[in-house]
Structure 1
Amino acid sequence: MEQVFFDSGQALLRVAVSAVLAYITLVVFLRISGRRTLSKMNAFDLVVTVALGSILATIILSKDVTLAQGGLALAALIGMQFVLTWTSVRVPWVRKLVTGEPALLLYQGTILPEALRKARVTEDELYAAVREAGEDDLKDLRAVVLETDGEFSVLTQGKVPELSSLKGMDSAD
């Protein structure tokens, strides 16, 4: 019955030591890689974060994975993320591939149905974002933008320049 709760004190000690060392290793690597690794996430960042969690759990719980192997896996994944973000800052087509473009969903009080469809956003979601921003009348809005991180920006009159100067936005034009 003892094995239901734990195999041995040695196995528990291994998990405890592995957890502490793996966590310290992850924190050190994340600090070295810079703030971008922990910033607001796009889809690629979310995948990397989930993968880091999976690697961390494997290091801690699997007897078959050494701390050195797990540390190398963490370093490789964080290194690839660093290279991807470094490249996306410097190469526009990589940035577009990785983060996409913001989508203009409403302009000067008018909903852009084709942009909603393309962004897979319902009118109800648009209205919810407007209410969350403390607004109640679409006609008072200059623009609603679906940002690359999935958040909505609700811009009231006077906060946004003319449509021609809204760079990098995908719309139904």
Structure 2
Amino acid sequence: MLFDSWDSIGRMVVFGIAAYAGAIAMLRISGSRTLSKMNAFDLVVTIAFGSTLSAILIDGSLSLATGIGALALLIVLQFVVAALAVRSGRFRNWITTQPVLLAWGGHVLDDAMRQQRVAIEDIEAALRQRGFARLDQVMAVVLEADGSLSVVESAGTDGAARLSGMQVPPQ
């Protein structure tokens, strides 16, 4: 069907503007964490948020109040899960991944690289972005919970502090 009716197009425009405004308002209320680099949980919420917004725009049987309510529910759930993760280490470990050491002392940790499915080219790109030509110029490379790669430059107290809580291989 190429064209249904002007009513359905008008509904989509009005609901789209209202749902968009509601989504922006809820994202502002929910705080920066909702829009920060995402872990797996955040990605699921984002996809569900987009799917719900799409349903509001397209599904003629869905009321605006129901759609906005669904968006609000997702934001509330995201807020509750984030709050629980801050308060409970066990809960945080259940919903998020932990950082993984991929390279240490100039050498890649092959088992960690294989397990995390990270290629040496990814580490080399992270090194270049930080201005290093070789792996032996840095203390460590870490795969962060959000999927980004961190390069820890020196073995001094500042560098070691950045690795607190991680399993570091013996020297």
TM surpasses 0.5: yes
Match of 1:20 in 2: 17
2:53 is the alignment partner of 1:33: no
The letter for the 1-side match of 2:159 is: P
Please state how far the C-alpha of 1:58 moved relative to its aligned partner. Answer: 0.5
Please state how far the C-alpha of 1:150 moved relative to its aligned partner. Answer: 0.4
Distance 1:150 1:33 in 2: 23
Q: CA RMSD in A?
A: 2.0
Q: 1:78-124, CA deviations, whole angstroms, 9 ceiling, x for partnerless residues?
A: 11111100000110111122221111111121211122122221223
Equivalent position to 2:42, from 29, 42, 45: 45
Pick closer, same or farther for the CA change 1:78–1:137 going to 2, 3 Å. Answer: same
2:155 is the alignment partner of 1:155: no
Distance 1:169 1:33 in 2: 30
Quick one: percent identity of the two aligned structures?
Answer: 43
Q: Specify the SS of the correspondent of 1:161.
A: helix
Q: 1:39-75, CA deviations, whole angstroms, 9 ceiling, x for partnerless residues?
A: 1111111111111111001001110111011111111
Ranges of 4+ aligned residues in structure 1 off by more than 4 Å = 170-173
Q: Specify the SS of the correspondent of 1:149.
A: coil
Alignment TM-score, normalising by the size of structure 1: 0.88
For structure 2, the 5+ residue unaligned runs are: none
Pick closer, same or farther for the CA change 1:67–1:123 going to 2, 3 Å. Answer: same
Distance 2:38 2:17 in 1: 26
Q: 1:142-173, CA deviations, whole angstroms, 9 ceiling, x for partnerless residues?
A: 1111111100011223565348x722335677
The letter for the 2-side match of 1:161 is: G
2:169 is the alignment partner of 1:168: no
Match of 1:79 in 2: 76
Match of 2:115 in 1: 118
Match of 1:9 in 2: 6
Please state how far the C-alpha of 1:128 moved relative to its aligned partner. Answer: 2.6
Distance 2:89 2:31 in 1: 21
8 Å CA contact 2:106–2:136 kept in 1: the answer is yes
Distance 1:40 1:22 in 2: 24
The letter for the 2-side match of 1:42 is: N
Pick closer, same or farther for the CA change 1:166–1:150 going to 2, 3 Å. Answer: same
Pick closer, same or farther for the CA change 1:171–1:64 going to 2, 3 Å. Answer: farther
